[in-house]
Structure 1
Amino acid sequence: MRETVPGESAVTIDRTAYEALPFSARCREIWRRGDHLLIGVSPGNSYFSHRRISELIRWGSEFFERIDIVHADLHVEAQFAAFGYTAEHARRRAAKEVKATARRIARGAEEAGEPDNVRAHALSEFTGHPAYGRLHHQVVDALRTDREFREAAEGMARGFLAARMDEGLAPNELQLAAGLQYIAAELPFFLDTPALLGVASSVSCYHIELPLTPVLFGRDEGLRAAPGQAYAVVRPAAPPLSAPAGLRARAA
């Protein structure tokens, strides 16, 4: 369940562009420190156009000393294979999606003026990092031993895989396993970005609340985020409501 602060249901940072909803009071405090914002981008996700990335960079730079954008490039091929692609076709499709994602990020950063406080990485760059190895091992172990965590991870995988499936279909066992493998590779950045990037604290953001958010940021036992790690939903701000034309005319 989302934690709230008396008199304040959510923090709205800048309603002219995007709004931020930190998950809990602790997440809100980390947000206010303004140390670091992490933007994770998945291949094939049309939400993260180059224009969106450019807007997020400009908007986030107003509140954070540093921004890192990490795009997933691990286990993408395995997902295509699980959907019946041949090994060669899966490799080519995965490479195409990953390259297109990297290009969108580069173009977004360019349109934002390539600020000095913004860096971009492929997820594979971290596989040799000791902290990444430790965190990934914890994720894999939790998938095996922590029922609440696994159920939430499976829900997250199903939501991700739905974009690759016809409406109304559910992933089979092989497809779900590929989705979990992909998500497990990303989760170290939801657990402890400070350990991976050497920042004092960090906010991981996405435009929706993920099934794993209350597990990693809202419970007191099992696998959960490090003290310096926060999560926030960051989404385009809703336009202000205006009165119908007739009412505006009468008011005038």
Structure 2
Amino acid sequence: MGKTLIQQRRGKGKSPLYVVPDHFSAGKVEFRPLDAKETDGAVKGKVVEILKDSAHYAPLMKVKYETGEEVLLPAVEGIYVGKEVYSGAAAPIEVGNVLPLKFIPEGTKVCMIELRPGDCGKLARSSGTYGIVLQKTEKYVLIKLPSGKTKKIHPLARAMIGVVAGGGRQEKPFVKAGNKYYWMKAHHKLWPVVSAVAKNAADHPFGGKHKRNKGKVTPLPKHGYPIKYGYYGSRKTGRGKGGATVGTKKKS
């Protein structure tokens, strides 16, 4: 009897081998909750530690605020342990500070950008990434994203000034498969990915050394168990020989 496909074993609640190892992470990376202290002024904090974990590609900085809160944020270029940072509308325009977009000058590089005020940062979080404040209006702030696209964001959405550290991380080649293996293992990634036709017959419907031109299993149950091959609820199967071609008329 054949084995269950890898993409089926990776489903929710299945094999623990493919569960995300949350215990590898230093914690959740997000801004402190938005409150009146930030909207009316600024909260002072201090960078107490710069750390790295396998769950995030960018280095992280631990910030402890005067309110007693501790948060993890992406470390920006130029940050250091002991630097004072501020979060709020009255914060100065300096690297590492968090402000609403309406108070950030045009042309400033920002990261950890909120999509909506109070969502604690969703955009430009990976190593070496940043957005640029292009234009400000009363209704929105136009941001150029790392992908090159522009997006209109609420003026009260917060962002951190600076570029996420760790840029150029992908420039160093792996050179050999052994380095790639240990890197992928440290990040708990599925690697290498073997093609279906290269597997054994028990591991995949396309596996086995005989008959390399594998056809799709047709048809499959329309409301059956979800699998990654074949056709679902086919109206017809086969080559479709004969009959009039679409867009042509029969001669009388």
Q: Tell me the TM-score normalised to structure 1 length.
A: 0.21
Bigger helix fraction: 1
Bigger strand fraction: 2
Q: Tell me the TM-score normalised to structure 2 length.
A: 0.21
Find the structure with the greater CA-based Rg.
2
